[in-house]
Amino acid sequence: MSRLKHEVIVNTVAFSPDGQWVASGDDSGTILVWEASTGRIGARMLHGASVNVVAFSPDGKMIVSGGDDGIARVWYWYPENLIDLACTRLTRNLTREEWKQYLGDEPYRATCPNLPIPEE
């Protein structure tokens, strides 16, 4: 059993289609995605208003949230999906200097294998 703790009232929860993840939305407008077996937070999104409903897409790659602001938002939440989406919009990989600035000591790699690595 995992404990999934928010700092304020939780209004809604939903399991991913494969049962491995739980999305929860709270009064502060925060959506957390938890690994069901461990309680580890896999993603955090800010809806902007109290979240009343969350649901996963049938393939589990997206989450939709609805809140007191009357807006439904669709989120790509899984890191690999976010990287894939970014790679469709970029023209190059990060330089080694940019990588160090944003990712610190994480070993450098080409995030988008189909894009060029800039010369420094």
Domain hosting 84: range is: 79-110
For 89, the 3-state DSSP assignment is: helix
- For residue 68, being part of any structural domain is answered with yes
Domain count across the chain: 2
Clarify whether residues 103 and 60 are in a common domain.
no
Q: Rg of the Cα trace of the chain?
A: 17
pLDDT of residue 119: 78
CATH number of 52's domain: 2.40.10.480
The model's pLDDT over 58-117, given as tens digits with 9 standing for 90+, comes to 999 999 999 999 999 999 998 788 888 888 999 999 999 998 898 889 899 888 988 898
Q: Cβ distance 40 to 3 under 8 Å?
A: no
Q: Cβ distance 41 to 17 under 8 Å?
A: no
The model's pLDDT over 40-63, given as tens digits with 9 standing for 90+, comes to 998 999 998 999 999 999 999 999
- For residue 117, being part of any structural domain is answered with no
Dihedral angle at the C-alpha atoms of 48, 43, 51, 27, nearest 10 degrees?
-80
Token pair, residue 102, equals 């944003």
Clarify whether residues 46 and 66 are in a common domain.
yes
